[in-house]
Amino acid sequence: MMTSVGGRVWATSASRRRLSSSLSSRTVTTTENTAATIGAATDPQTTVQSRLRQFARALRRVDRQWVTRIGIAAAIALALTVLSVVTPSVSARQMAGLNAHLMWSDVSASEQDGQLEQIADAGAGIARVDVGWSSLEQNAKGRYEQWYLGKLDTLVDSAERHGVKLLLTLTDSPCWASSAPESLKQGCQGRWWERGVTEYPPIDPGSFGDAAAYVARRWGDRIAALEIWNEPNNEIFLRTQDPARDYGRLLRAAYPRVKAERPRLPVLAGTFALADEKFLEQLYDDGGIAGNYDGLAWHPYTHPYSPRARASRAGVESSFRDGADALRRIMRKHGDRRAELWATEAGATTCADRADERCVDADTQARWIRDYVEVARDMPWLRALIVYNLRDKGTDPNDVEQGFGLVRSDFSPKPSFAAFRSALAGR
pLDDT at residue 61 tops 90? no
Query: What is the CATH topology of the domain spanning 96-424?
Result: TIM Barrel (3.20.20)
| Separation between Cα atoms, residue 415 and residue 406, nearest integer Å | 8
Q: Which has the minimum average pLDDT: 256-260, 356-360, 419-423? A: 356-360
Q: Which has the minimum average pLDDT: 76-85, 160-169, 343-352, 357-366? A: 76-85
pLDDT, position 353:
82
How many whole angstroms from its chain centre is CA 130? 11
Q: Point out which residues pair with 297 in neighbouring strands.
A: 270, 342
- The verdict on whether omega for the bond into residue 304 sits within 30 degrees of 0, i.e. cis, is yes
Backbone angles phi, psi at 293, to 5 degrees: -160, 165
Q: Which residue has the higher pLDDT, 355 or 425?
A: 425
pLDDT, position 179:
98
pLDDT at residue 130 tops 80? yes
pLDDT at residue 92 tops 70? no
| H or E segment to which residue 343 belongs | strand 341-343
pLDDT at residue 121 tops 80? yes
**Mean pLDDT in residue range 271-286:** 98
Alpha-carbon distance values, 303 to 88, 98, 105, 379, 415 (Å): 33, 19, 31, 20, 18
Q: How many CB atoms lie within 10 A of CB 405?
A: 27
Q: Point out which residues pair with 166 in neighbouring strands.
A: 127
pLDDT at residue 394 tops 70? yes
**Mean pLDDT in residue range 326-331:** 98
pLDDT in tens, 191-227: 999 999 999 999 999 999 999 999 999 999 999 999 9
User: Mean pLDDT, the chain, as a whole number?
Assistant: 85
pLDDT at residue 20 tops 90? no
**Mean pLDDT in residue range 346-358:** 92
pLDDT at residue 370 tops 60? yes
Most confident of 25-39, 49-63, 92-106: 92-106
Question: Hey, which bits of 100-197 come out as E strands?
Answer: 126-132, 165-171
pLDDT in tens, 144-196: 999 999 999 999 999 999 999 999 999 999 999 999 999 999 999 999 999 99
Alpha-carbon distance values, 375 to 310, 326, 329, 423 (Å): 11, 16, 19, 11
pLDDT, position 175:
98
Domain boundaries, the chain: 37-88, 96-424
* Longest CA span, the chain: 87
pLDDT, position 427:
82
pLDDT band at 81 (very low <50, low <70, confident <90, very high): very low
| Separation between Cα atoms, residue 303 and residue 325, nearest integer Å | 19
**Mean pLDDT in residue range 35-46:** 30
Helices (H), ranges, 230-319: 243-261, 277-285, 311-314
